């Protein structure tokens, strides 16, 4: 039935079997049978999408980024990475969308987020899957953003480690990439926006008002390559 109607999914096949033979068959049973018995004919253009998914079923990760409101009505960003085969949580984290992240994450890539959440395993996995170490975050309506993952590696909280920074630079991240960023400083007596315009990652790190948030070793590495 699947060979005659290759566009049919599991639910239509289950319904057709029930209609023709009077046998109630769950769609998941059809799915399991097709996974074992059905192999689409090759047209010379490589494996089908179904075959590809089947071959990688034990090595796929899914990543989700979403926002949630806390009991005090503050917005938090949450990132979760899960192994699809074992359903094991590979990693994840949460931070305050306004003040608890150190470098902006709006409009950024998963590589930016892995650095922001200090997820080394996810960071390495993304790079092996072709993540761009020089990818730029989106610009907002005021022209802020456009920062590369190197910015997130330097202004990232007290984190004296150059491992991820070194990997970024080895993969081609540019030290001279410039961006304009702003951060709302809401823990001081007079909360206000701090702006850094047209700066490199190292320059922003040296000028950032909260020195305890600077990965000083990464800042030196990002500036000089040491």
pLDDT at 96: 55
Q: List Cβ neighbours of 53 (8 Å cut-off, separation of 6 or more).
A: 60
**Tokens at 58, concatenated:** 């034990």
| Nearest alpha carbon to residue 61 among 150, 124, 153 | 124
pLDDT at 32: 82
pLDDT at 71: 63
pLDDT tens sequence across 163-179? 888 888 888 888 899 99
pLDDT at 98: 47
**Strand 75-83 relative to strand 192-199, pairing:** unpaired
pTM over 0.75: no
pLDDT at 38: 79
Domain definitions of the chain by residue range: 10-55, 98-224
Check the CA dihedral 176-159-137-89 and report its sign.
positive
| Nearest alpha carbon to residue 131 among 106, 111, 154 | 111
CATH for 98-224, among 2.60.40.2550, 1.10.10.10, 1.25.40.20, 2.40.50.460? Answer: 1.25.40.20
Distances (CA, A) of 159 to 19, 63, 152, 180, 214: 63, 24, 12, 23, 8
Q: In which residue ranges of the chain is pLDDT below 70? A: 40-59, 67-77, 85-102, 157-161, 187-188, 218, 221-226
């Amino acid at each position: 039935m699947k060979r005659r109607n290759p566009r049919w999914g599991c639910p239509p096949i289950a319904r057709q079997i029930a209609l023709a033979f009077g046998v109630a068959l769950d769609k998941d049973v059809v799915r399991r049978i097709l996974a074992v018995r059905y192999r689409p004919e090759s047209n010379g253009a490589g494996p089908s999408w179904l075959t590809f998914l089947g071959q990688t079923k034990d090595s796929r990760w899914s990543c989700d980024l979403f926002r949630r409101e806390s009991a005090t009505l503050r917005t938090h960003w949450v990132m979760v990475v899960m192994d699809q085969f074992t359903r094991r949580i590979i990693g994840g984290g949460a931070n305050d969308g306004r003040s608890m992240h150190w470098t902006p994450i709006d409009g950024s890539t998963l590589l930016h987020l892995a650095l922001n959440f200090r997820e080394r395993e996810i960071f390495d996995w993304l790079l092996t899957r072709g993540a761009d170490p020089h990818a730029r975050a989106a610009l907002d309506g005021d022209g802020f953003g456009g920062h590369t993952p190197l910015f997130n590696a330097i202004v990232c909280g007290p984190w004296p480690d150059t491992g991820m920074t070194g990997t970024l630079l080895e993969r081609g991240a540019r030290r001279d990439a410039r961006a304009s960023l702003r951060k709302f400083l809401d823990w001081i007596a007079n909360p206000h926006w701090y702006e850094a315009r047209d700066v490199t990652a190292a320059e922003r790190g040296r000028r950032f008002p909260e020195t305890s948030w600077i990965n000083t070793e990464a800042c030196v590495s990002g500036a000089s390559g040491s």
